[in-house]
Amino acid sequence: MSDSWDYVESITEALRDDLALNTWATSTYGKELELSAGINMRDLPGVTAAPYVVVAPDPEVDELYDEDRRTTTYGIRLILGVADDTTETVGAITTYIGERRIIREFAPKVLAAVRPLLAGRVLRAVKSACNFMDFPLIERAMVLHVVEPITLGVRG
């Protein structure tokens, strides 16, 4: 890939084409997964867009060149959103199903869809956090670092 935007486009297309992820979204939430390449901070996705994935360059590590290791690291931010206020109470314990789904089902399916695209590169999930500020909208933000070796040419 030549820059972080190449990763944004490729990842968004991989998510669009992943049958398991899209089947899960439709069967779990009754609607198709919404995808966005890039993000408009003035018009963020919300409850009506969920389930969704936003794919964007990470502003903290857009492209980081490491001369000693001869690598370039690309930072890619994934924001997953579901609108799910389902709960299950057993005895005195209430479980928030949407939170469990985004961690145990949605995020792993997104990463599974992305992994084949990044074969031969190092993939590190460096940050992951959930946001409940607009409940029942639950968001999980993940930052992936894709580490690529620098190749200057091919010897013949």
- CA separation for the pair 141, 54 (Å, rounded): 9
Pair of tokens at residue 9: 């486009």
Residue-level pLDDT, tens digit, the chain, 156 residues:
678 899 999 999 999 999 999 999 999 999 999 999 999 888 889 999 999 999 999 877 666 666 666 777 888 999 999 999 999 999 999 999 999 999 999 999 999 999 898 877 777 766 677 888 888 999 999 988 888 777 665 444
CB of 56 closer than 8 Å to CB of 143:
no
**Domains, the chain, ordered by start:** 4-149 (3.30.70)
Cα 11 to Cα 112: distance, rounded to the nearest angstrom? 11
- CA 22 to CA 48: how far, in whole Å? 17
